[in-house]
Amino acid sequence: MPPAHALSTFTESYRHTLFQWRFRPKADSDSSREEKDTAIRFLEKNIRFSLNAVAQLFLHYEHKPLDTKCSAHLTEYIPISDVVGDPQREKEGDKALERRVRVGIRFIDDKRYPFQGLKGVLHVNPALSSYAEPKIKEENIGAPDPKLTAEMFLPVPDCDDEKDDSPRSRALPIAPRAFRFGQVVYEDVQSQISKDASHNWNVTQNVVQEVLNYVDGAENGKIGSAAGYRLLWEVQSDEGERADPSNWPRIGVLTIFTESRAKMDESGVSAYFDLVRPILELQKEMLLTIVGLRA
């Protein structure tokens, strides 16, 4: 368990996030574009503040070197039907999202056909990222992760034909695999996301090499440890009861990285995600509000 002062800091961060959520700028479908964009920026800042709290607590949880940096990203799931759109939207020229995805999509074999075999994408957005480090300056709390310099989109393949209990999947580490299986833990990324481990990735060798280059730090620095947690939206059944969790919509993934490897296991990370669940629920509320305001 983390020390008492870490839990106290996390509690204060949760209270601040909740306060900001309650007194957020009001905007709805009748608001002007400027009013909606102002509300979106406010919510993004509040999500970053809460991600900083999540990252800080992760550093203190279990056995991690406290001198390492920790990044936290809230990635939004976008169904491929929303990316490509329908013919009517295409006539209206509303193809901005599709163009962005075509430019920013990573870890696919053929850029000419980026959406082939995909169910959707995970949007890694710098505006929904943050980081923590020892003695972080107060003005940097809630700042975007400096390692994430541009948005990217991660492929979410159609895995409906895969067996749920099989580790072999077209879903790649880290966030896409968390989206597929619910939770992933990599105590030592360099050994667990490796050439030897890639036999469980049902993808081409070109994609394997791109993944290995990325985690080895070719772009944004080496990743030591990582954890991913799928975010679900709880819904009711037609009878007004709590629906089966297998029917809850999947809305994204919370991904956490540290620069150094860490001693942690599946049960410890599960306990950590249970501990931060109140702030995760707020993050989901804010993310879905942002999605609604973009329309």
What's the CA gap between 14 and 105, in Å, rounded? 33
pLDDT at 90: 55
- In the structure, what pLDDT confidence band is assigned to residue 86 with cuts at 50, 70 and 90? low
Contacts with 6 (C-beta within 8 Å, 6 or more apart), sequence order: 56, 57, 60
For the residues 137-144, what does the mean pLDDT come to? 88
pLDDT at 219: 75
**How crowded is residue 227: how many other Cβ atoms within 10 Å of its Cβ?**
27
pLDDT at 19 over 70: yes
pLDDT at 63 over 90: no
pLDDT at 10 over 90: no
The answer to whether the beta carbons of residues 70 and 56 sit under 8 Å apart is yes
pLDDT at 94: 63
Tens digits of residue pLDDT in 231-282:
999 887 777 777 777 788 999 999 999 988 888 888 889 999 999 999 999 9
pLDDT at 89 over 60: no
What's the CA gap between 218 and 295, in Å, rounded? 36
For the residues 171-176, what does the mean pLDDT come to? 96
**Residue predicted with more confidence, 241 or 175:** 175
- In the structure, what pLDDT confidence band is assigned to residue 41 with cuts at 50, 70 and 90? very high
Residue 107, SS3 per DSSP: coil
Percentage of the chain with pLDDT > 90? 61
Q: Which domain holds residue 60?
A: 4-294
Query: Considering only CA atoms, which of 173, 171, 167, 174 is closest in space to residue 158?
Result: 171
pLDDT at 85: 73
pTM for the whole thing?
0.92
pLDDT at 240: 72
pLDDT at 182 over 90: yes
Residue 272's identity, in one-letter code, is Y
pLDDT at 227 over 90: yes
pLDDT at 138: 84
Q: How many domains does the chain have?
A: 1
Tens digits of residue pLDDT in 192-219:
999 998 988 989 999 999 999 998 886 7
Q: Which of 19-33, 116-130, 241-255 has the lowest mean pLDDT?
A: 241-255
For the chain, the first-to-last Cα distance in angstroms comes to 42
**Residue predicted with more confidence, 103 or 133:** 103
The answer to whether the beta carbons of residues 143 and 102 sit under 8 Å apart is no
Percentage of the chain with pLDDT > 70? 94
For the residues 158-185, what does the mean pLDDT come to? 91
What's the CA gap between 99 and 86, in Å, rounded? 15
Would residue 117 be called left, alpha or beta, if left means φ above 0 and alpha means ψ between -120 and 50 degrees? Answer: left
pLDDT at 220: 74
Average pLDDT over all residues of the chain: 89
For the residues 7-36, what does the mean pLDDT come to? 92
